[in-house]
Every structure is written in structure tokens, then in C-alpha cells.
Amino acid sequence: MKAIEFLEMLTKYAKDYSLIAGESVKRNSHMNNVDEGETVNKEISDAVLVDFINYIGMKHCVDYALYTKDLRKRD
């Protein structure tokens, strides 16, 4: 798999995950330091997803330039 294909796959998964990220983080609170009663800010969770995917791109010498607004675009 080429790097760009991997990044595109991650983006597809991130689009789906972004819709449920807050609930997922709270549901898995036993695996992180977020209390079940806390609110998980969608803007922050989307920013982390995008930043992480762009970071992986840079590790593969790809300036992927993914934006949080791209997570809202459906294929």
C-alpha cells in the first residue's frame, strides 16, 4: 500500500469515527483519563484526528494538508 492510499484510508475511517468520538472516548474511559461525565469537545477531537493523520503523512514525506472541514465531507 502506498502512503497516499494509507492516508486516504485513515481519512475515511476518521470521518466515521469523528461522528462518535466523544461517546467512544467516554465509553473507553477505563483506557484514558477522561471521566464518563466529562464532555469531549468535538472541535478538539477533530483537530487531534486531523493533526495525527497529517503527522503520519509527514512521517512518510507527504504533505497531506488535511483540514478538520475535510472530515465533514462525505464521499
| Structural domain for 37, as ranges | 3-71
% residues pLDDT > 70 (the chain)? 100
Domain count across the chain: 1
The helices-and-strands tally (H runs, E runs) of the chain is 4, 0
Q: What is the pTM assigned to this prediction?
A: 0.91
Band of residue 36 on the pLDDT scale cut at 50, 70, 90: confident
Q: What is the pLDDT of residue 24?
A: 96
What string of DSSP letters covers 36-67? TTS---HHHHHHHHHHHHHHHHHHTT------
Packed helices 42-59 and 3-18: angle between N→C axes, nearest 10 degrees: 170
One-letter amino acid of 72: R
Q: What is the pLDDT of residue 53?
A: 98
